[in-house]
């Protein structure tokens, strides 16, 4: 994995909620789920001073990038779309590595379980890591 000198903001856009992550090298500095109608305000609040803004190319990506470019024209040239294929599968695996099942759930393979919370934020982390791996 290449070392990016600036934090990377990654967004998994969705229709109702978005995953948001800020990753610096190997560290996840921020990871959260934000309501779709609040995402631009949240991005303004946490936007790193410099660095790429990585957006998954899945659901609603084109309209999201357009909205973000209009709301924040000074960052439009830093927006990069990245392939989102199978990112949910990777995110689910990452979720279970960081939150191993407890009690009777540990007896069943995690591949057969659904995380008890939305994992859009984990998808955003995966997108940032994909971007770093491609650098």
Question: Which tens digits make up the pLDDT trace of 7-62?
Answer: 999 999 999 999 999 999 889 999 999 999 999 999 988 987 768 999 999 888 99
Q: What is the pLDDT of residue 51?
A: 86
Going by CATH, does the domain composed of 8-134 fall within 1.10.1040.10? no
- Confidence label for 1 from pLDDT (cuts 50, 70 and 90): very low
Tell me the domain boundaries of the chain. 8-134
Out of 13-27, 39-53, 73-87, 110-124, least confident range: 39-53
**pTM strictly above 0.75:** yes
Q: Write the DSSP assignment of the chain as a string of letters.
A: ----SS-EEEEE--SSEEEEEEEETTEEEEEEEEEGGGHHHHHHHH--SSS-EEEESSTTHHHHHHHHHHH-GGGGGGEEEE--TTHHHHHHHHHHHHS---GGGGGS-GGG---SS--HHHHHHHHHHHHHHH-
């Amino acid at each position: 994995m290449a070392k990016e000198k600036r934090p990377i903001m990654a967004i998994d856009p969705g229709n109702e909620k978005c995953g948001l992550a800020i990753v610096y090298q190997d560290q996840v500095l921020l990871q959260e789920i934000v309501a779709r109608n609040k995402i631009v305000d949240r991005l303004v609040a946490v936007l790193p001073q410099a660095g790429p803004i990585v957006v998954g190319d899945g659901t609603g990506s084109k309209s999201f990038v357009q909205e973000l470019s209009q709301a924040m024209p000074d960052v439009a040239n830093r927006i990069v779309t990245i392939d989102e294929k199978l990112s949910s599968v990777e995110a689910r695996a990452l979720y279970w590595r960081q939150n191993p099942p407890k009690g009777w759930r540990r007896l069943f393979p995690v591949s057969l379980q659904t995380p008890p919370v939305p994992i859009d934020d984990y998808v955003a982390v995966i997108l940032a890591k994909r971007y770093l791996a491609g650098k």
